[in-house]
């Protein structure tokens, strides 16, 4: 079956499962099922009474998950974006009772290696870039009508591309002759437009990342799910997030910081720890457990892991 042939190597696999601190009878959510690498390891740690809810917006991942769900009653597979997980958690009566939420952001190798979906700037395919091909607009549709300013903004904001305006101008000029439907045509246009200095990084890397993040609304997805996680998690429940770029990681880092405060009382302040903690109770809902990065051996085995950062936090007992 294609499940075993997709070559996806799960990043920070053991570290993520350790960070979840699995209780064998607990309820867990894998918000980014992919090909199920993390999910399978979570299932192996669960007893009969344990439950795992997995979500993915990609239909191919959902098919893989449904195959597992048929054989394992502890496992449920859902097709949706992870920002909607609270809806399912609420329907199942599990608000405040989830023991761990895992997010392994970005793309699976299954998606990256399927050139027909347009994620790659190295091989040709239809310029689609949607993780869920059944909803939203494709990259090609967006590029055919977006304003020059909007394209430049996306490239700058999500790709931190210095030459965003030059690239946007070139796209708008080129699309007058023919619509952008091919990934390699866009990649070539970018190569011809910007100075080619860094031989280690393809000139289209940042633009492709930016367009993908915009088309899939990736940063807003993270902001929404993080806020809901606070409500879904049980006391001592764990939030574990693996990011692959600085924009994603910053969101996770600041979210955890904002909601975990170390309350230390200056000696002369006439307030007890309890009084201060009560005052900041709403902000102080998490204990920051720190961050982990892949070992040299893991990066050697799987180059995709090189930019990964895992951050985790524990819900406090309030
Ligand atoms: C890096 S892969 C996960 C790999 C997985 N942990 C494994 O070991 O097989 C990321 C997956 O998350 C999915 N994904 C990304 N953003 C999503 C979102 N907002 N909602 C649901 N799924 C999402 C992608 O479709 C992809 O399958």
3-class secondary structure, 241: strand
Of the candidates 106, 110, 129, 109, the residue with the CA atom closest to the CA atom of residue 119: 129
> How far is residue 96's CA from residue 17's CA, in Å, rounded to a whole number?
21
> How far is residue 311's CA from residue 223's CA, in Å, rounded to a whole number?
15
Residue 308 Cβ < 6 Å to ligand 1: no
Count other C-beta atoms under 10 Å from residue 253's C-beta.
Answer: 17
Nearest CA to ligand 1 atom 25: 58
Superfamily for the 2-110+218-315 domain:
Vaccinia Virus protein VP39 (3.40.50.150)
Q: What is the mean pLDDT of residues 172-195?
A: 94
Mutate to test the pocket of ligand 1, among 34, 83, 106, 228 (most ligand atoms within 8 A of CB): 34
Confidence of residue 183 (pLDDT cuts 50, 70, 90): very high
Low-confidence winner among 97-111, 171-185, 214-228, 261-275 (lowest mean pLDDT): 261-275
Residue 313 has pLDDT above 90, yes or no: yes
Nearest CA to ligand 1 atom 27: 34
> How far is residue 16's CA from residue 20's CA, in Å, rounded to a whole number?
6
pLDDT value, residue 119: 95
Residue 46 has pLDDT above 90, yes or no: yes
pLDDT value, residue 266: 64
pLDDT value, residue 270: 72
Tokens of 79: 């097709």
Count other C-beta atoms under 10 Å from residue 261's C-beta.
Answer: 15
Atom of ligand 1 nearest to the CA of 102: 6
3-class secondary structure, 58: coil
pLDDT value, residue 4: 46
Atom of ligand 1 nearest to the CA of 13: 8
Q: What is the 55 CA–ligand 1 centroid distance (Å)?
A: 8
Residue 55 Cβ < 6 Å to ligand 1: yes
Q: What is the 167 CA–ligand 1 centroid distance (Å)?
A: 29
Residue 104 Cβ < 6 Å to ligand 1: yes
Domain residue limits, the chain? 2-110+218-315, 133-215
Q: What is the mean pLDDT of residues 203-208?
A: 96
pLDDT value, residue 282: 60
Nearest CA to ligand 1 atom 5: 34
pLDDT value, residue 198: 65
Close Cβ partners of 126 (under 8 Å, ≥ 6 residues apart): 116, 117, 118, 138, 140, 181, 182, 183
Residue 81 has pLDDT above 80, yes or no: yes
Residues 190 and 203: beta-carbon distance below 8 Å: yes
Atom of ligand 1 nearest to the CA of 35: 9
Residue 317 has pLDDT above 80, yes or no: yes
Residue 233 has pLDDT above 60, yes or no: yes
Confidence of residue 238 (pLDDT cuts 50, 70, 90): very high
Average pLDDT, the chain: 93
Residues 27 and 50: beta-carbon distance below 8 Å: yes
Place of tokens 């070559």: 7
Q: Tens of pLDDT along 105-142?
A: 999 999 999 999 999 998 899 999 999 999 999 999 99
pLDDT value, residue 261: 74
Superfamily for the 133-215 domain:
Putative methyltransferase TM0872, insert domain (1.10.150.170)
What's the maximum distance between 2 C-alpha atoms anywhere in the chain?
Answer: 73
Q: What is the 105 CA–ligand 1 centroid distance (Å)?
A: 6
Q: What is the 245 CA–ligand 1 centroid distance (Å)?
A: 15
Mutate to test the pocket of ligand 1, among 108, 215, 240, 305 (most ligand atoms within 8 A of CB): 108
Of the chain, the percentage scoring pLDDT greater than 70 comes to 91
Q: How far is CA 223 from CA 160, 228, 232, 258, 309, in A?
A: 19, 9, 15, 13, 17
Close Cβ partners of 33 (under 8 Å, ≥ 6 residues apart): 39, 54, 55, 56, 61, 62, 64, 65, 77
């Amino acid at each position: 079956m294609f499940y075993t042939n997709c070559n996806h190597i799960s990043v920070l696999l053991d570290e993520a499962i350790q960070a979840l601190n699995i209780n064998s009878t607990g309820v867990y959510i894998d918000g980014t099922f992919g090909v199920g690498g993390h999910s399978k390891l979570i299932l192996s740690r669960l007893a009969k009474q344990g439950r795992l809810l997995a979500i993915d917006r990609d239909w191919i991942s959902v098919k893989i998950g449904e195959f597992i769900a048929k054989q394992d009653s502890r496992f449920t597979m859902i097709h949706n974006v992870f920002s909607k997980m609270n809806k399912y958690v609420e329907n199942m009566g599990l608000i405040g009772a989830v023991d761990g939420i895992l997010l392994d952001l970005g793309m699976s190798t299954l998606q990256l290696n399927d050139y027909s979906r347009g994620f790659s700037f190295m091989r040709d395919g239809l310029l689609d870039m949607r993780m869920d091909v059944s909803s939203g607009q494709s990259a090609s549709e967006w590029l055919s009508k977006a304003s020059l300013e909007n394209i430049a903004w996306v490239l700058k904001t999500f790709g931190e591309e210095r030459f965003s305006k030059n690239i946007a101008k070139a796209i708008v000029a080129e699309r007058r002759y023919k619509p952008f439907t091919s990934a390699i045509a866009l990649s070539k246009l970018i190569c011809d437009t910007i100075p080619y200095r860094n031989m280690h990084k393809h000139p289209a890397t940042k633009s492709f990342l930016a367009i993908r993040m915009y088309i899939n609304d990736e940063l807003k997805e993270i902001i929404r799910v993080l806020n809901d996680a606070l409500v879904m998690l049980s006391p001592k429940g764990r939030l574990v997030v693996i990011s692959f770029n600085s924009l994603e990681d910053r969101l996770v880092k600041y979210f955890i910081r904002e909601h975990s405060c170390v309350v230390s009382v200056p000696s002369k302040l006439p307030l007890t720890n309890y009084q201060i903690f009560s005052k900041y109770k709403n902000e102080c809902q998490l204990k920051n457990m720190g961050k982990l990065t892949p070992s040299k051996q893991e990066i050697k085995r799987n180059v995709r892991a090189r930019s990964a950062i895992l951050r985790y936090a524990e819900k406090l007992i309030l």
